[in-house]
Structure 1
Amino acid sequence: MITVEQAQAALAAWYAASLAVAKSQSYEIEGRKLTRADAAEIRQQITFWEGKLAAARNGGRRMRIGYGVAE
C-alpha cells in the first residue's frame, strides 16, 4: 500500500515536471527525460498520483463520486 508521504513525494515530483515543461524546459524523473511533448503523460501521472494520495488519506478506500442531473 502506498503511504500518504510516498504519494505526496511522487505528486510533488510530477508537479515539478509539469512546471519545468510548461517553461519549455526538460525534466528528468526516474531516469527518464521529459519534454513538452510529454505534457499529456505528465498530466496523466498527476491525476494518477492525486488519486493515490486521496486513497491513502482515506485509509486505502476508493472514493466514489456520483453525478446527478438537476431537473
Structure 2
Amino acid sequence: MAGITLADAEARLAQWLEADAAVASNQSYTVQSPAGGGRTLTRADSGEIRRNIDYWNGWCVRLGGTALANGIRVTHVVPA
C-alpha cells in the first residue's frame, strides 16, 4: 500500500460529508469501501459519521500542509 494521498483523503471526506447530510434529513446513506462492499448508515450512526469527518479532515489538513486555527490558516511556524 502506497499510503493515503490528498486526493484519497478528500474523496473519503466528501463521502462522509454526504453521509452526514443524508442522515441529517432522516435518510440512510451507504458508504462504499475501497475494497468493495459497503455499510448503510442512519441517524443512529451520527457519532460515527462525525468521528470519520474529523478523521478524514485531519488527513486532508496534514497532507495539504496547512492547518486551521480559529479560522486563521497557518502555513508555517518558526519555533522560538
After TM superposition, the score normalised by the length of structure 1 is 0.79
2:78 is aligned to none
Shift of 1:58: 1.7
Segments of 5+ residues of structure 2 without an aligned counterpart are 33-37, 70-80
- With a CA cutoff of 8 Å and minimum separation of 6, indicate the structure with the bigger relative contact order: 1
Normalized per residue, the structure richer in helix is 1
Segments of 5+ residues of structure 1 without an aligned counterpart are 66-71
Q: Which runs of 4+ in 1 moved over 2 A?
A: none
1:27 paired to 2:29: yes
Residue-pair matches, total: 61
Normalized per residue, the structure richer in strand is 2
Which of the residues 50, 58, 78 maps onto 1:51? 58
**Among the aligned pairs, what percent are the same residue?**
44
After TM superposition, the score normalised by the length of structure 2 is 0.71
